[in-house]
Structure 1
């Protein structure tokens, strides 16, 4: 089994990139890859409960549904701790299935041979 990190740096500022990031992450986990989505920069907002509820890019499944499918399929969502805090968010607001982590956790995953793609 391979490893893939999908770094998502966008949210409502570019819903197309945020959505496609989760489309790719779902494809990865469905193909048996150990898959982590790392929500950072503006993408950290997606880690807050309710934020993605109204994001629906034309031609794609709604983002909230993509996120839920990813977690249900065994994918992991990590939210950048300083990015989340900078945006005035806290752990009580965290979306189900997500964990707040520091950059060292992502570096550890990447050092184990994971490929990384960024949206």
Structure 2
């Protein structure tokens, strides 16, 4: 099993099933003891803001706030710096525990030994 799993989610409310799948896989991995790094990019960037995850609904899917909480407990959530800038989101705007970082940090994470990466 991978020591760390990096998941980049590019979808938000524009592709709800793909979005939900990414968050679900991240939360299940975290619950299984895997260190998870969840990257919010593209339309999923909005979920870094307070209250936005609670607005997302998909029948038969776990609520995003619960999934995000599970990931935060065992790993971390990162908002893409370019995605944040394009949406005028600053560090003062995001949920506690969400960091803003760029491609250099993403590449560093996925290149580490024992790391697996998924993109949704």
TM-score scaled by length of structure 1: 0.90
Superposition pairs of residues 1-119 of structure 1, within 5 angstroms: 2-72=3-73, 74-113=74-113, 114-119=115-120
Q: Is the 8 A contact 1:55 1:64 kept in 2?
A: no
TM-score scaled by length of structure 2: 0.90
Secondary structure at 1:65 match in 2: helix
Q: CA deviation at 1:23?
A: 0.6
Q: CA deviation at 1:66?
A: 1.2
Which runs of no fewer than 5 residues in structure 1 stay unpaired? none
Q: Is the 8 A contact 2:38 2:71 kept in 1?
A: no
Which runs of no fewer than 5 residues in structure 2 stay unpaired? none
Secondary structure at 1:46 match in 2: helix
1:45-96 deviation per Cα after TM superposition (whole angstroms, max 9, x unaligned): 1111211111121111111221122213x12101101111101211121022
- Count of aligned pairs: 118
Distance 1:83 1:14 in 2: 17
